[in-house]
Amino acid sequence: MGWDSKRYDEGMDGHRRVVFAGAGHAHLHALARVKEYTDRGLEVVLVAPDRFWYSGMGPGLLSGLYRPEDDTVDVAELVTRGGGRYVQAPIALIDPMTREVALQDGTRLGYKVLSLNVGSEVPLDGIEGARELGVPVKPVRHLAELHDHWSTLPENHPALRVVVIGGGAAGCEVAANARRLLRDRGIPSRIILVTSQPRLLDRHPLAAHKTILRWLNRAAVEVQLSSQVRRLESGRLHLAGGDVMECDVALFATGVRPPPLLAESGLATAEDGALLVNDHLQSVSHPEVFGGGDCVTLHDRPLDRVGVYAVRQAPVLHGNVLAAASGGPLRRFKPQKRYLLILNLGDGTGLLLWHRWVVHAGWAFRVKDRLDRRFVARFRTRNAPAPVPSVSSLR
């Protein structure tokens, strides 16, 4: 669902236009309330290359627990039902001096207020061959595409050698759900999880490492700790020190970083290229620009890049963008000190991490599943209520 953005923008000066760039967790709240903008005489344009994919369900897409229709929201319908416009395109450039965003086809959209929720990407440039041959776990649709591909393999397919690079929450979940799918399909496989760190889930208590390591061992997922990947070539993965690993598929879950678009724009950014924002989620260099989610960093404290912060930011971001465009005071975003994380282990159990608590249980996954499904379902109703905090485990 799109529109002719070149023709639409002719003669427009953007003085009443609010542009939402990206359709991530932090923007859904505002997109469900576009009528609040249009009722004030504002023009709303959403620019995004794809529908919304919910990262918390990503590993379940790989195993087949969820289908794409379970995991996604039609943001075109969401924004147009409130009187806004949707442009299905990636942004090529942000020009804060002229207050314009440029699309890849050359179209330029002026704005009064710009809100950025352009997500993050898995960095691949540090490993030779990774960009050409590796599969990053973000965008989340990659996991759905891999599920579809593996599901078409015949049962007599030669043993599949899968290496997951990254020992954080995403790496552990992806390895577990890959095992689930390949076992269900009867495809022989060898799954190896490789991390450069001396333990898994190293941002969490040691008990989390011990628990997930035990589970992976029982699931016949091999784990290689303190191993740095240097080079990927067809059929082989090279580690620091000279070890070579046979590999048919290399899945990269090595953390995330903001897209280079922001650092190239002239907006103030942090060292990693994230938009630097104040407590109002407002650019510290350009007050007409706001942002949320993985692509921003608070000026006085970095936050973990997990969906729960983006969901918490969403109502504040919506209120402040609306206030900046139509007049009114700005609200402060106060991040929580701790957040709940539940890993989907693909077998009907979850690993719950909360402060020092580490719990592996079936009920933990059921809690996660209920929260995740409820979050997505809220944005498919005609009168979408405010989203509740939700678990997002894919980083």
Residue 14: name the closest of 48, 47, 52 by CA: 47
Asked if residue 134 and residue 116 are part of one domain, the reply reads: no
Q: Are 16 and 91 within one domain?
A: yes
- Whether residue 198 is predicted with pLDDT greater than 80 in this model: the reply is yes
In a domain, 84, yes or no: yes
Number of domains in the chain: 2
Q: Residue 41: inside a domain, yes or no?
A: yes
Contacts 24+ apart (CB under 8 A), 97-103: 97/266, 99/14, 99/288, 100/14, 101/19, 101/21, 101/47, 103/5, 103/47
Amino acid residing at 86: Y
Query: Of the candidates 189, 217, 252, which is a domain's last residue?
Result: 252
* 234 inside domain: yes
Closest by alpha carbon to 322, among 330, 311, 332?
330
The answer to whether position 389 is within a domain reads no
- Residue 393 located in a structural domain: no
Residue 80 and residue 175 share a domain: no
Asked whether the predicted pLDDT for residue 393 surpasses 70, the reply is no
Q: What CA–CA distance (Å, rounded) separates 180 from 86? A: 37
Q: Report the pLDDT value the prediction gives residue 387, as an integer from 0 to 100.
A: 37
- Tell me the Cα Rg of the chain: 21
Please indicate, yes or no, whether residues 33 and 177 belong to a single structural domain of this protein.
Answer: no
The answer on 195 and 102 residing in a single domain is no
Per residue in 346-384, pLDDT tens?
999 999 999 999 999 999 999 999 999 999 999 985 544
How do residues 250-283 score in pLDDT, each as one tens digit? 999 999 999 999 999 999 999 999 999 999 999 9
Q: Residue 384 domain-assigned?
A: no
On whether both 58 and 114 belong to a single domain, the answer is yes
388 inside domain: no
Residue 351 located in a structural domain? no
Q: What is the pLDDT of the chain when averaged over all its residues?
A: 92
% of the chain at pLDDT higher than 90: 86
Task: Give the end of a domain, one of 320, 337, 354.
Answer: 337
pLDDT at 380: 82
Q: How confident is the model at residue 392 (pLDDT cuts 50, 70, 90)?
A: very low
> Which of 252, 268, 284 is at the close of a domain?
252
Please tell me whether residues 137 and 34 are part of one structural domain.
Answer: no
CA 307 – CA 287 distance, rounded (Å): 25
Q: Are 160 and 152 in contact (CB under 8 A)?
A: no
User: Structural domain of residue 321, as residue ranges?
Assistant: 5-121+257-337
For the domain that residue 333 is a member of, what is the CATH number? 3.50.50.60
Burial 126-164, CB ≥16 within 10 A → b, else e: ebebbeebbbbbbbbbbbbebbeebeeeeeeeeebbbbb
Mean pLDDT score, 157-169:
96
What pLDDT shows up at residue 15? 84
Of 389 and 348, the structure prediction assigns the larger pLDDT to 348
Higher local confidence (pLDDT), 7 or 62: 62
**Domain check: are 248 and 262 in the same one?**
no
Residues 261 and 234 in one domain: no
